[in-house]
Structure formats: C-alpha cells, structure tokens
Amino acid sequence: LEKVESGLSKIGLVAVHPHEHGKGIGSFLMSCAERAAFLNESHTIEVVTQESNTAAMALYRKSGFDIKSKTYIYHYWNNDTI
C-alpha cells in the first residue's frame, strides 16, 4: 500500500500462492491494506488489475471495491525478422 497523495492510497499488487487459495488470505491482506490506509488518513484506496483476472476481480468486489474506470491498453508485436 502506498499513500500517493492526501486522502489516497494505492495497492500495487495482492498475490496469494495458488496452493493457499480459498483460505481467506487474500481477504486478510485486503483488510490489512484497508487498516493501513485508515492509519495513513486515506479515505480512498485504488487498486489496478486486469478485468480478465477473475480471481482478483472477485476478491476486490468481495472487499467492497467497485470499478472506477477502464483503460484499454493495446500491444503491438512486430513479428518481422530481418
């Protein structure tokens, strides 16, 4: 969790080893982040993930987060070889 400006903290990454899924660890980590944000006097927390990451989306929704915005990022791979 990083406090980026007054009243705003951002979560960079939440990860739980696949063997530990379903044990409440992700929810615990989110609770810890919320507590840290509160102690940092942040009233807003932002987290970024890919919409296709259904496990992360479910965790964040379960934790009370909503989608604020969507950004579409397109990648270009040049497959030409010289």
Closest by Cα among 75, 76, 67, 26 to 49: 67
Each residue's pLDDT tens digit, 14-67: 999 999 999 999 999 999 999 999 999 999 999 999 999 999 999 999 999 999
Give, rounded to a whole angstrom, the gap between the first and last alpha carbons of the chain. Answer: 44
In this prediction the pTM is 0.79
